[in-house]
Amino acid sequence: MNSIKVKIDGREYVCENGMTVLQVARANGIDIPALCFIDELKPYGACGICTVEAANTPKLLRACATTVFDGMEISTNSDRIRRSRKTALELLLSDHTGDCRGPCSLNCPAGTDCQGYVKLISEGKYKEATALVKERVPLPASIGRVCPHPCETACRRNFVEQPLSIAFLKAFAADRDLASGDKYMPDPAPSSGKSVGIIGGGPAGLTAAYFLAVKGHAVTVYDSMPKMGGMLRYGIPQYRLPKEVLDMEIDTIEKLGVTLRNNIRIGKDISFDEIKTKYDATLVAIGAWQSSSMGVPGEELDGVIGGIDFLRSIALGNPVSIGKNVAVCGGGNTAMDACRSAVRLGAENVYVIYRRTRDEMPAEKVEIDEAEEEGVQYRFLCNPDEITGENGRVNGIKLQKMRLGEPDAGGRRRPVPIEGEFEYTDIDTVIMAIGQRISPEGFDELEFNQRGNISADESTFRTSVEGVFAVGDATNRGASIAIEAIGEAQKASEVIDSYLNGGIIPYKKPYFVEKTVTEADFADRERIPRAKMPQRSPEERKHDFNEINLGLSEETAKAEAKRCLECGCHDYYDCKLIKYANQYDVSPAKYAGEKHNCDKETQLVSIERDQNKCILCNLCVRVCDEEAGKGIIGLVGRGFTTVIKPEFDNVPEVTAFCKDCLKCVASCPTGALKALK
């Protein structure tokens, strides 16, 4: 009898006698996970994750090694099976050491493949690099200029000398692409017939519009300002981000078919209810456009202005009159943008007033240093106690002297007033750059939290109103950096897409294997200084708003990209182990214990072996023996000490054969083997 009938998950299939459960399942499009099986080899059953249940059989069976029989009834996805597979994966991962993704990517709020696009830049593939960035960030030329680059904080080149210039490399590739005359454009999916209304044309709204348009949905973006861009346009000065660059990137989004509507105020020109009724889904990404106040006497005087309001007036071409002496209160990047802009507007004395020390300032160090180069003066360990005035206009500021006390909840030492110690300074303008909050007018229907921000579920981005989602600075914890809003909007676009397709799939942070390293791990690396961004001199640049950075040359950019240590796994996108780990929601920490700690070896010359990633599935050994007919590698040791090694010293004829074969590399399910050039 050549044909038999079996049931899998309640459905009957006809198959050949002698096939395994796994073969029958795969032949009929049924997914049963397996790490140690390929069709060319005999069943082995090492990984233990292909378990299934058979009727009238108490034990779980390994699908790769179990032959079907006529009338067999199989279940592939019960709770018991999933628990078994999960345990098997967790045990394998408990001794799997490596980096699925580079720490740069893991520390990027948008999850960009930093290692990937840096590698492409090193090869001169700028369009490909831009395309890879745009899988997560649709405004790379803009963000590459202004992002405080948490990716670089995590860069392991820090253990050698200095981190890669990842953000500037992103901008370099994107600039090259924009100037190419054939800039990268994604291919949108066919029209879905669904529509999305987005309120807010800042980095979050534009990001969501880009990805939803790529998915085939009709998208309209509403914004209250004359042009799109949000805080990228109206909160970041021209000398850091030329708006011509931003315009080109927004043009790409518009060319995808996104409708952009400016000068539209919710509650005035159109109601929130009209928008959410008109579209199949609505996304609120209104940002945080109101400057926070300090609550000190004199804040109501003429000449006191919020940092965001000050920067917006400049961007709109109507800068406020600031006089000769300007005080900027705050220590973040907005304070840096404000003080440097005040210098460019002609102020003779610009003071940054900050209640902690220079070391505690949240602004980027480069911004702090560049501001000082341009003449900004710092007043550390001071806090405004009173803003004084005459005839309703600011004329001075009284500063309370401070000292640092015990650490606060965030770990920074708390500033404590020094009783009776004050400073007095003549001031014409006070700029409050201490934070931002949202303007909720027109959105009364939504639920707000205690901070006054829109409440949105952190996994689905849903608000209290059906069909309405929210992201960015206006939600939950409030204002943050642009890349945070972009990352959130990209995730939200996936959730909204699932909603438009009839369900809702929440965002879930992926599981990654991460490796702990120390400076000693990089002691043998050559020290190569970080590329220095060429700049206009402080004396020249402080008199205008032209871009201060001159851009990396192609030679410099390629050399800088080649400094990458390539920490992330070369096989990440094809790795079956990490795919199944996320599919089964693993938590391998419960099995934490001793791990292999092996050096990478290249005895086979053209093949690098990383035993720390090996799960002893034995595929490479069996492929070399059964397929290649060589038996070059084998299992060495017993029990926990077992490893897979070549069974010879460097023999030229063998290494020459391996160079042309590489079947073991192709079979490896975890990235433990890597073909070398």
Q: Note the pLDDT tens digit of each residue in 538-547.
A: 999 999 999 9
Query: Could you tell me the residue ranges of all domains in the chain?
Result: 3-93, 195-289+437-500, 293-434, 598-675
Contact in structure between 282 and 199 (CB atoms under 8 Å): yes
Which of 246-260, 353-367, 399-413 shows the lowest mean pLDDT across its residues?
Answer: 399-413
Question: Is 1's pLDDT higher than 60?
Answer: no
Cα–Cα distance list, 542 to 109, 168, 431, 535 (Å)? 32, 22, 19, 12
Provide mean pLDDT across the span 222-236. 97
Q: What percent of the chain has pLDDT over 70?
A: 99
Q: How confident is the model at residue 45 (pLDDT cuts 50, 70, 90)?
A: confident
Question: Is 219's pLDDT higher than 80?
Answer: yes
Task: Please state which CATH class domain 293-434 belongs to.
Answer: alpha beta
Q: What 8-state DSSP symbol labels residue 20? A: B
Give the pair of three-digit tokens for residue 401.
Answer: 């002297």
Q: How confident is the model at residue 46 (pLDDT cuts 50, 70, 90)?
A: confident
Give the pair of three-digit tokens for residue 625.
Answer: 């023996």
Which of 38-52, 179-193, 498-512 shows the lowest mean pLDDT across its residues?
Answer: 38-52
d(CA 15, CA 12): 10
Mean pLDDT, the chain, integer: 94
Domain over 195-289+437-500 is classified CATH 3.40.50.300: no
pLDDT in tens, 57-68: 999 999 999 999
Architecture of the domain spanning 3-93:
Roll (3.10)
Output the DSSP codes for 364-398.
-HHHHHHHHHTT-EEEESEEEEEEEEETTEEEEEE
Of the candidates 531, 526, 525, 565, which has an alpha carbon nearest to the alpha carbon of residue 549? Answer: 531
Question: Is 147's pLDDT higher than 90?
Answer: yes
In CATH terms, are 195-289+437-500 and 293-434 the same topology?
yes
Please report where in the chains the tokens 């924009």 appear, as a residue: 178
Question: Is 648's pLDDT higher than 80?
Answer: no
So what's the pLDDT on residue 649?
63
Q: Count how many Cα atoms sit within 13 Å of the Cα of residue 468 in the half-sphere of its side chain.
A: 22
So what's the pLDDT on residue 668?
93
pLDDT in tens, 590-607: 888 878 788 888 888 899
Cα–Cα distance list, 599 to 16, 219, 634 (Å)? 46, 52, 18
Strands 3-8 and 73-75: parallel
d(CA 23, CA 4): 14
CATH of 598-675, one of 3.60.9.10, 3.30.70.20, 3.40.50.300, 3.20.20.190: 3.30.70.20
Burial environment of residue 582 by CB neighbours within 10 A (0 to 12, 13 to 18, 19 or more)? middle
Q: How confident is the model at residue 202 (pLDDT cuts 50, 70, 90)?
A: very high
pLDDT in tens, 472-516: 999 999 999 999 999 999 999 999 999 999 999 999 999 999 999
